[in-house]
Amino acid sequence: MLQSTGFIAGDLIESEEIDQAAIASVSNILRWVCELMDFWSEETPTLLRTGGLGVRDLRKAAEHLGVDENCTAFVAELCYLQGLLAIEGDGRVLPATGFDLFQSATGEHQWRDLASIWLESSRVIGLIRIEESKGIAPLGNELDRVWAPRVRKTILELMKGEERIAPSLTSLQQRLDWTLPSRKDSPLAKEFPRWVMDEAEWLGITGRGAISSFGRALLDGEKTLGISSALPPTVDHILIQGDNTAIAPGPLTIELARKLSTFADIESRGNATVYRFTEASIRRGLDHGHTGDEIKGFLRSTSKTPVPQPLEYLISDVARRHGQLRVGYANTYIRCEDEASIAAILKDKRLESLRLRQIAPTVLISESESGDSLEELRSSGYLPSMESQSGDVISLPKQLRAQSKARLPRVISETSEPTPTVIAAAVKVLRAGDRAHSFTASRAEIPRTSANETLAILRKSIESESTITIGYADTNGGVTQRIVDPVSIAMGNLIARDHGNDEVITFKIARITGVAFIDG
């Protein structure tokens, strides 16, 4: 039923229904956070070179959680903000030690931390949804907007002022434009309120679109939110059924849920979670170091119902076949038709550094490089030869070439008269410096521009082949002014000729603080 308080119009919803929907969202977000961190501890993703989580890794995580990619990106960002995950030097994303501390806290404490950090965050996670923002990814460096916390809190305060009202997006947008008129025509002015409403619903600050009692208590800064008493209690048992599934009648304890997920797949979620045992899931448990007897013993001890015989047969059959086929690593192989020579090499103490292992009567393998193995064998009195992939003996020396470009040494000599090319380059640099000085003298500072304004000016300057000046931030936070001729825009970068050194340079658009045309 559509209601209006004179400020915001929306549907009137019973308080009990609001809190029921909100506590379900609270339970879901806490479960999603734990499931995502446990999943990434086993299936570790690696960030893209440009920064951020790749589309493939995001899709895999979304399939594991059973939610869409937008919600998965939101959960990943929450973990990032709360310090539950860490990005290694090689780009791998792994759970941090803070995740273990997070799991030991109460549900109310966990939710308060997640919701509070979201309120204060400057990261606009909804930017990932925009089709034009193809270079923006979860966990990337391009999501921060300084105005985000203030506008987010204003939206929630407006919703909090409407008792039991789930405001319509149009009505909320109109009220926000009246409250913050300076943001009315700014970038993302229309999209941001919708993103805030979606994220507040995922968190449980709202339920069915209206502020819940938990969200109201959080915004008011109350010490007790009432979440611990509202969340369903954890259970320490499951109910195994005859169709190779198991039902968890409530939220499982941390250890039980973590161990069960290693050899069972979640089929459906809700008040009761359904796990399914398959050949692939049991193999995954065996890969994690569990034996077939351990899996069966665990199920017998945690299930309130007997373990069906078909499930025991499935576990025994997979355990019997597991590991019959082995996959290992070898960098070099040594083969010889004379088994006596192979035995002599294997027993030769001078070759212990090669760490040889015999896999057949006439074949040895080693983790050492083939060149090192060849030299060690020759120095020990053997007469080996190299072999190609097709089994042919390589008798000609291999002519190697460096893959990097040659760098000539600097030539130091007496001072000589500069060439015309050097003089022309020096004059060009001096003129560029004079031009930059005259421009900075007329303008103390390049005016800051928004992301949309920056892109618009850059595209216009490319079309008109104009010269512009940009403010560019370095890795230490310092901002320098550059005079450039834009050439093109690609993958979030500006390619332009820098007047300072007359070279074509790539600038990251995210680091451009302001853009302005140069007259003349």
HEC sequence for 97-109: HHHHHHHHCCHHH
Instruction: Examine the pLDDT at 378 and tell me if it is beyond 70.
Output: yes
Pairing mode, if any, of strands 273-276 and 265-268?
Answer: antiparallel
Q: How many CB atoms lie within 10 A of CB 43?
A: 11
What local confidence, expressed as pLDDT, does residue 445 receive?
A: 65
The 10s digit of each residue's pLDDT in 405-419 is: 666 665 555 566 777
114-123, 349-358, 410-419, range with the lowest pLDDT? 410-419
Does 395 map to a domain? no
The residue among 230, 261, 288 that closes a domain is 230
Q: Assign residue 416 a region: left if phi > 0, alpha if psi is -120 to 50, beta otherwise?
A: beta
Would 62 be classed as within a structural domain? yes
Q: Record the tokens describing residue 235, joined without a space.
A: 């259970």
Q: What is the pLDDT of residues 154-197, one digit of tens each?
A: 999 999 988 888 899 888 989 988 988 888 777 788 889 999 99
Same domain, 165 and 217: yes
Residue 381 and residue 457 in one domain: no
256, amino acid identity: L
In a domain, 7, yes or no: yes
Domain span at 505: 420-517
Examine the pLDDT at 329 and tell me if it is beyond 80. Answer: no
| 162 CB neighbour count, 10 Å cutoff | 22
- The CA distance from 488 to 497, in Å, is 10
**Statement to judge: residues 505 and 356 lie in one domain:** no
DSSP class of residue 311 equals H
Total number of domains constituting the chain:
4
Are 314 and 341 in a shared domain?
Answer: no
Number of H helices, E strands in the chain: 18, 21
Structural domain contains residue 408? no
At 303 the pLDDT is 92
Please give the pLDDT value at position 520: 46
* Contact by Cβ (8 Å): 159, 211: yes
pLDDT (0 to 100) of residue 279: 92
pLDDT digits (tens, 9 = 90+) for 57-110: 999 999 988 899 999 999 999 999 999 999 988 889 999 988 988 988 899 999
Can you give the CATH number for the domain in which 433 is found?
Answer: 2.30.30.100
pLDDT of residue 200: 95
Q: What is the mean pLDDT of the chain?
A: 85
Q: Which of 68-82, 141-155, 226-240, 446-460 has the lowest mean pLDDT?
A: 446-460
19 CB-near residues (< 8 Å, 6+ apart): 207, 212, 213, 214, 230
Express each pLDDT in 501-520 by its tens digit.
777 888 888 888 888 887 64
34-48, 435-449, 467-481: least confidently modelled range: 435-449
HSE, side-chain direction, 13 A CA sphere, residue 455: 11
CB 215 within 8 A of CB 206: yes
Q: Is residue 406 part of a domain?
A: no
Q: What is the pLDDT of residue 475?
A: 75
Residues 215 and 355 placed together within one structural domain of the fold: no
In b/e form, how buried is each residue of 60-97, taking b as 16+ CB within 10 angstroms?
Answer: bbbebbebebbbbbbbbbbbbbbebbeeeeeeebebbe
pLDDT of residue 1 exceeding 50, the answer is no
- Domain final position from 230, 255, 284: 230
Does 467 fall in a domain? yes
DSSP secondary structure letter of residue 144 = B
Beta-sheet strands, E only, within 356-409:
357-360, 363-366, 386-387, 393-394
Does residue 165 sit in the same domain as residue 27? Answer: yes
Q: How far is CA 432 from CA 464, 484, 494, 518, in A?
A: 20, 10, 20, 12
Residue 248: helix, strand or coil by DSSP? strand
Residue 305 and residue 348 in one domain: no
Both 165 and 291 in one domain: the answer is no
**The pLDDT of residue 281 is above 60:** yes
* Distance between CA atoms of residues 398 and 375, nearest Å: 15
Q: Which of 208, 230, 252 is the last residue of a domain?
A: 230
Which range among 64-78, 427-441, 492-506 has the greatest average pLDDT?
A: 64-78
Task: Please check the confidence at residue 485 and state whether its pLDDT lies above 90.
Answer: no
| Residue 439 pLDDT class (50, 70, 90 cuts) | low
- Does residue 133 register a pLDDT over 60? no
Q: What value does the mean pLDDT take over residues 321-327?
A: 80
Which residue did the predictor score with more confidence, 244 or 479?
244
The reply to whether 294 and 355 lie within a common domain is no
Taking residues 231-251, report their average pLDDT.
89
Tell me the average pLDDT across 38-51: 88
Does the pLDDT of residue 436 top 60, yes or no?
no
pLDDT digits (tens, 9 = 90+) for 9-27: 888 889 899 999 999 999 9
| Sequence letter at residue 352 | E
Residues 302 and 359 in one domain: no
Measured CA to CA, the distance from residue 179 to residue 501 in angstroms comes to: 48
d(CA 101, CA 109): 11
pLDDT tens sequence across 354-371 = 888 888 899 999 888 888
Same domain for 434 and 307 = no
Task: Note whether 229 and 214 are within 8 A (CB).
Answer: no
Residue 154, in any domain of the structure: yes
With a pLDDT cut of 70, the percent of the chain lying above it is 89
Are 98 and 43 part of one and the same domain? yes
Q: What is the pLDDT of residue 216?
A: 93
Tell me: pLDDT of 309 over 90: yes
Q: How many CB atoms lie within 10 A of CB 211?
A: 27
**Which residue matches tokens 């759970």?**
95
d(CA 358, CA 404): 38
